[in-house]
Chain A
């Protein structure tokens, strides 16, 4: 008697949990569609509405070509600097114990707490008219603000945490045993770093670098403040979109936005690939 009641209860529970499951999956798909997929399709549709020729027309504009070139230069330099120094900082934070280590560790999170606009403002305060370092650089004829150097500096600032925060846990996970073994077997420090450490952290590094690149390509608030918005000179791809929309050149702005969105989908592929590799290799 009671056994029958239990199975009936279990059946009811099962049915209920199936209903919950369906409901939650549906709600998730609706959320993701409203917030991400439909807007993405919206921009695809709006950008290509005038016909495919709008893409070639846009890419033929010298301003657009220059903007993409500038974004590429800034992104490559940012990725190299934040990649190399990111690995060094992560290594120092994981492998060394010293006074001020936790302070240094807290510093890494600071860029997450600063508005990009504030970062741009700080750069102007340091290198702009009346800034702390203005005299030093202007005496040597080097222009920082309203020129490429400041745009690179602010982009590096904003991208600093990514490589550090992705490499750190991987370094912690793999430990020092393999590095020590390589050194005992007579490998030089550089050899052990290249042959043992780098292969161990490569997916974490790829993850961080992809996030870094995505942030660098998409940066607007900080470069908007420091660039001075000189058309065809200090205009990155995002700044081009910003100006083109203000000047009502909507079709080409949408095309550039669409191309950036497609680039970010490629970067997302790298991010997901790295994430899966990290998940597989660390137990």
Chain B
């Protein structure tokens, strides 16, 4: 009894010092995380924004006074929107095939669609040039029937399609896996045709995931550089994209103008990425 009473305070002091140690540990890990993300992510973003808008809109106006600036921005926005839309359809189809069908080579296919995540973007560009360029029979054939891929907007679109292929697949696939096929069976038992079942039962369930994949694709596409720089030919006013335009401005020692255009692209992408994370989180909560 008395020994228990004596040992009690000792236990308590130990547990308090334990808790203090744990608190210090937690705080130092949190500090490390904050310093790491602050130094590596926040600082560069602040540097870009202050340089771009340090003198108000002067840098932005100067950047868009450069010949071909507007065309570069439009080309990037249009090719990115096209790539995101096409891949929303193709990605949904591929995710459906991977989840719902069993066929020989399915495992290999599932791995191959992730290839763009692993392959260097510049190598993607080299692949497209090698296949569709003037030195390959495929490229010669296509240009003989009037289709130019290399040094043309079509090549830019193709590069963006390759690079963003995995995004929609990766957002749609897990949602499809969770979906209960019983609902679709019920719908088709009630007489609904395949397409009607898909439109009425499956599509509402995966709509958010498709939108999220498309937005991520778009955000990625408007910043894409490596796969485009070799393919597009970078002709001012014709095949010059916004990221390559930023690169040219930076190389001409016009950092303020480059930062202004970069801020604009960043603003668009960032809003889209934020919207996407919100969408996915809300979906998860449901």
Contacts and interface: CB of A to CB of B under 8 A. Distances in A.
Which 10 residue pairs across A and B have the least CB separation, nearest first?
Answer: A218-B120, A115-B223, A122-B44, A221-B225, A42-B131, A39-B127, A113-B269, A264-B118, A118-B262, A220-B226
A28 interface: yes
B34 interface: yes
Interface of B: 22, 25-26, 29-30, 32-34, 36-38, 40-45, 47-48, 51, 90, 93-94, 96-97, 101, 103, 109-124, 126-128, 130-131, 135-136, 138, 158, 161-162, 165, 188, 193-194, 216, 219-220, 222-226, 229-230, 243-244, 246-247, 250-251, 255, 258-259, 262, 265-266, 269-270, 272-274, 277
A37 interface: yes
A88 B259 CA distance: 32
A272 B111 contact: yes
A121 B258 contact: yes
Interface of A: 13, 16-17, 20-21, 24-25, 27-29, 31-32, 35-40, 42-43, 45-47, 85, 88-89, 91-93, 96, 98, 100, 104, 106-126, 131-132, 153, 156-157, 160, 189, 210-211, 214, 217-221, 224-225, 238, 241-242, 245, 253-254, 257, 260-261, 264-265, 267-269, 271-272
Contacts of B165: 35-36
Given A42-B127, A104-B37, A118-B266, A217 B250 contact: no
Query: Majority SS of interface residues in chain B?
Result: helix
B270 A221 contact: no
Contacts of B269: 112-115
Nearest to B163: A35
B32 A88 contact: yes
21 contacts: A17-B194, A28-B97, A39-B128, A42-B138, A43-B130, A88-B29, A92-B30, A92-B33, A96-B30, A106-B274, A110-B270, A112-B220, A114-B266, A115-B266, A117-B250, A124-B255, A160-B40, A210-B118, A245-B230, A260-B119, A271-B114
A224 B247 contact: yes
Given A16-B194, A214-B117, A268-B118, A40 B111 contact: no
Contacts of B120: 214, 217-220, 238, 257, 260-261, 264
